Structure 1
Amino acid sequence: MLISAVRRLSRDSLARNSLLIMATTVSNGGLGYVYWMLAARSVPPDRIGTATAVISAATAVSMIANLGAGHMFIQRLPGSDTATWSRIVGCGLFLGSAATAGAATVAALAVPSLSGNFGFLTGPGGTTALVTAAIAVTLTTLLDNLYVAHRAGHGMLIRNLAVAAGKIVTLIAVLAAGMHGAGAVLVSFVLPTLLISLATMAIGPRRLRPAPERPGEAGPLAGRWRAAATGLRDELPHVRAAITGHHLINLTQAGPAALLPVLVTARLGPDANAHFYLAWMTASMLFMVSPAVASALYAERTNAATVSVSRAALVVLAVVGAPATVLLLAGNEILGLFSAGYAIEGAPLLRILVLAALPDAVANLAVAHWRSRGEFRLCRRLNLVRAVTCLSLAWLLLPTAGVTGAGAGWLAGQTAAALLVAAVALTRRKTPAVPDRGLTEPETAVRHSRPASGGRTVGVPHGVGKRRQAGGEAPTGRKR
């Protein structure tokens, strides 16, 4: 029976890659918990607060500046030829990193003047820390999406295990060397992430890139540089379309999670952010599950597979149920492993965050479903509702309710989004859905894979299959 179950799982691409993505989440959560527990016991809370504030700001900058390249990978890489694949990946990584570096530099110069609680970013040390941390986050995000695009969850799992273990080893080494301030946390967080991301860029693409039809030499160095410049120019229309399509959806979807720690720091200071961040990271294993399954669902449909939302929802419930129960029942004790102070401040917040996992999953799966059907406008509206609700309520509640106010805002935003999903579902029982019109071709991702009336499979946009068969890819910056 066990062998047959394993065989069924190996043939079920959605379940297999969802489980691998979630195994990545669980391993990151478990090793991350060990990392932060070690940091909390070795570094004073005010220094922890400064480090987590820099990491939070770097995450927010990366989310804003990565240009939506990750979902562009998921949409465009399946079925690409060797040259197109290399151009998409190389340009996506380069442009995303360059935009992140520029945005982080601007943020390091501008944010301290807007909030005195971010004064630690002033000076070359603060700017360097923010820029390197933001680039590290962008690279790890884009590389994860590269593996998701090819339904190669095992590669992402191995890479993230190496990063998480590297953080712990580096932190131990840094502490043994006598560093016990915010720098110890930042170095141990950023250095392994950057090194393993660079190693992945050197090794990983070779395994994922499609084999060339006509193997040959790479050519002289000057020719390769000219080809790279030409490829970068050819990619710009796709990147512009990704920014107006996928990236706006990603910003409104991931924005609250990235900005909440920044708001806590701005309103309450770095010390309060330390208590918020550790509770947030403890609950993050729940919030990573539904986005992981949603990404797997979207990747399946870009590969012309027929996958229902109900199947994806069952996978989420199966994985989230047990850890959510544990966090609700033993949240105080878990946070108490950091210190008694973290348990007192963070326990009510942790319970609220656990309750928000269910409506958060509803909204994330709905966005993945609508995105695969090309209904980008609906995705943006749903995410905008939860982003505005979450961030505005958190900003208003933080001064009076403390860090618990951020959790209340998060719960309210997710609940509002889930209610909107229910309202759309009820409306569509009466009125059939109408796909968005006037979108650029890179935005019109995947239709639900079902044979159309003419026998054509609609797992990819109309016309894309013909261009791929011809061995090329037409510019897609024009309106349809």
Structure 2
Amino acid sequence: MTVNTAMQNVRKLFISQAVMLLNAGMLGLGTLLTAILGFVYWWFAARSFSAEAVGLAATAISLMNLLAHLSEIGLGPFLMGEISHQRQPGSFLTGALLATFSAAIVVGLIYLGIAIYTSTHLGSIVSSSASDLFFVAGCALTVVTIVLDQALVGLLRSGLQLTRNVFFAVTKLILLIALGLTIGRSASEMAIFATWVTGQFASLVMVVGLLVYAGTRVFHRPEIRVFQPVIRHVCGHHTLSIAVQAPGLLLPFVVTVMLSPQINAAFYAAWTLLNVALLVPASLASVLFAIAARDMELFPVRLRLSLGLSVLACTVTALAFFFFSRFMLWIFNPAYAVIAGNSLQFLGIAAFGMTAKYHYLAVQRVRRRLGVATLILIGGAVLEIIAAVIGARFGIAGTANFWVAAVSLEGLLLCPALYWATRDIAKPSTTVPSAADGLATNLGETGQRGFASQN
């Protein structure tokens, strides 16, 4: 190998890592800003409204996010891996947004049909025709933001995604403050929930405005046919994404149903902080997958970098929860510290298991080994939910600790696969993958959106 060749390889590695870190940095900056604003949002809610209203609103938001992710039908990750290869990305994106928006309406209406015969524990949020339709609209708006954000990551335009998320966080906070100043503690869970949905809508309007101002064509004829050859693969990957996200989105609902809305208000405060910490490894993983679509040769190197930074973030998270969980709850509301006490001090350990799940899913998607991954992650999701339900018999500590044990066990089982993936030497990619092949090899993890939507 000549000196020039060696220098070219070093330069290629540096540029590749710089692109990943730049876009991950954009996501990280957005994470930091939305984390701060999300903390202020839930802090103000805890200080201004009743624990029951906050607990019910938090449960409804988690349930709305779960229904939105179900409605995504895998098109978000598909866009993340494939939109950069399309000749008409605008039509490609429009078709995906239209399909997922329609799916969210159907899924939301199905849920409402089920809720008629069950106790939903959502208070006034699902209590009348008007509130029911508003809840469905919230599901549809949420899935649009999920798909749009992942498409922006796939286009390496994380700056615009950052802008939308920060605008959303600021808008919902302003609306919540206005609600607290005008109505105060008498505000219902529906009023709190409305600030969230309205903020989502405003952020979408803002993105459209920015694109129009920049002279970018916004409305395109939707392209649906391109999805037809890969619909089976899309559904398969969607199953994997739901297996990763569903337990986390269901946990606040389990706490509300098995314990009480008041206990969930305290739990959700800690849950929000954990989700903020999880955005760090999820953001790194998302950009890792997006860049894998362009150059597979350096995937093991990028994987090691992503894992190293993620483990560092997880260590800080676990230590913070262990020593300061009660104090963090006290900051939200002194009553929350009384409700939970030190019951949530081990919650931060779950960050290690979640990080392993994000990266394991990346490896299996890139290596086209989805059969085993599907079985393992679905089994893990069932284990997490069952553990949380059983743990609820022992109160909030039991719910949290049983769930942490389950997700930690998953992480340990996935570590060998991650180790060997970091040692593999990938062959250089010589062709641009087709839509079907690209889906199987280049889809990114959507956990980042699953947790970002809760802040």
TM-score (norm 2): 0.83
Deviation at 1:122, TM superposition (A): 3.0
Q: Does 1:382 align with 2:376?
A: yes
1:55-114 per-position Cα deviation (integer Å, ceiling 9, x unaligned): 1210111121111111011121122112xx122200111111111122112212313522
Residue 299 (structure 2) aligns with = 307
**Alpha-carbon spacing, 1:184–1:426, altered in 2? closer, same or farther (3 Å):** closer
Residue 358 (structure 2) aligns with = 364
Equivalent AA in structure 1 for residue 245 of structure 2? A
**Alpha-carbon spacing, 1:463–1:26, altered in 2? closer, same or farther (3 Å):** closer
Residue 469 (structure 1) aligns with = none
1:414 is aligned, of 399, 407, 410, to 407
SS in 2 for 1:374: coil
**Aligned runs of 1:12-411 on 2, under 5 Å?**
12-82=18-88, 85-115=89-119, 117-118=121-122, 120=124, 121-178=126-183, 180-201=187-208, 203-204=210-211, 228=222, 231-232=223-224, 234-237=225-228, 240-304=231-295, 306-308=298-300, 309-398=303-392, 400-411=393-404
- Equivalent pairs counted in the alignment come to 420
Could you tell which deviates more after superposition, 343-352 or 288-297? 343-352
C-alpha separation in 2, matches of 1:65 and 1:460 = 26
C-alpha separation in 1, matches of 2:311 and 2:273 = 18
C-alpha separation in 2, matches of 1:16 and 1:276 = 34
Equivalent AA in structure 2 for residue 450 of structure 1? K
1:116-169 per-position Cα deviation (integer Å, ceiling 9, x unaligned): 534642322431342132223212211220121122222222221111111111
SS in 2 for 1:288: helix
1:457 is aligned, of 412, 425, 430, to 430
C-alpha separation in 1, matches of 2:370 and 2:215 = 28
C-alpha separation in 2, matches of 1:424 and 1:288 = 22
State the structure with more CA Rg.
Answer: 1
Query: Is the CA contact 1:252–1:384 (under 8 Å) kept in the aligned structure 2?
Result: yes
C-alpha separation in 1, matches of 2:17 and 2:306 = 16
Identity %: 20
Query: Is the CA contact 2:349–2:408 (under 8 Å) kept in the aligned structure 1?
Result: no
Could you tell which deviates more after superposition, 50-59 or 169-178? 169-178
Query: Is the CA contact 2:390–2:399 (under 8 Å) kept in the aligned structure 1?
Result: no
C-alpha separation in 2, matches of 1:97 and 1:331 = 38
Unaligned stretches of 5+ residues in structure 2: 1-13, 439-455
Query: Is the CA contact 1:112–1:122 (under 8 Å) kept in the aligned structure 2?
Result: no
TM-score (norm 1): 0.79
Residue 474 (structure 1) aligns with = none
Deviation at 1:265, TM superposition (A): 2.2
C-alpha separation in 1, matches of 2:48 and 2:248 = 27
Query: Is the CA contact 1:385–1:413 (under 8 Å) kept in the aligned structure 2?
Result: no
C-alpha separation in 1, matches of 2:117 and 2:331 = 36
Could you tell which deviates more after superposition, 43-52 or 340-349? 340-349
Equivalent AA in structure 2 for residue 197 of structure 1? L
Deviation at 1:203, TM superposition (A): 3.9
Unaligned stretches of 5+ residues in structure 1: 1-7, 212-217, 434-447, 466-480
Deviation at 1:268, TM superposition (A): 2.2
SS in 2 for 1:351: coil
SS in 1 for 2:332: coil
Query: Is the CA contact 1:24–1:160 (under 8 Å) kept in the aligned structure 2?
Result: yes
Query: Is the CA contact 1:385–1:417 (under 8 Å) kept in the aligned structure 2?
Result: no
Deviation at 1:261, TM superposition (A): 1.4
1:37-56 per-position Cα deviation (integer Å, ceiling 9, x unaligned): 11111111111122112112
C-alpha separation in 1, matches of 2:227 and 2:434 = 20
Bigger RCO (CA 8 Å, 6+ sep): 2
**Alpha-carbon spacing, 1:449–1:330, altered in 2? closer, same or farther (3 Å):** same
Could you tell which deviates more after superposition, 380-389 or 94-103? 380-389
C-alpha separation in 1, matches of 2:159 and 2:63 = 30
Residue 5 (structure 1) aligns with = none
Equivalent AA in structure 1 for residue 49 of structure 2? V
SS in 1 for 2:85: coil
**Alpha-carbon spacing, 1:351–1:19, altered in 2? closer, same or farther (3 Å):** farther
C-alpha separation in 2, matches of 1:417 and 1:207 = 46
Query: Is the CA contact 1:253–1:387 (under 8 Å) kept in the aligned structure 2?
Result: yes
Deviation at 1:422, TM superposition (A): 2.9
Root-mean-square deviation (Å): 3.2
Deviation at 1:35, TM superposition (A): 0.5
Equivalent AA in structure 2 for residue 310 of structure 1? R
C-alpha separation in 1, matches of 2:176 and 2:436 = 51
C-alpha separation in 1, matches of 2:382 and 2:212 = 38
C-alpha separation in 1, matches of 2:261 and 2:396 = 12
C-alpha separation in 2, matches of 1:108 and 1:24 = 33
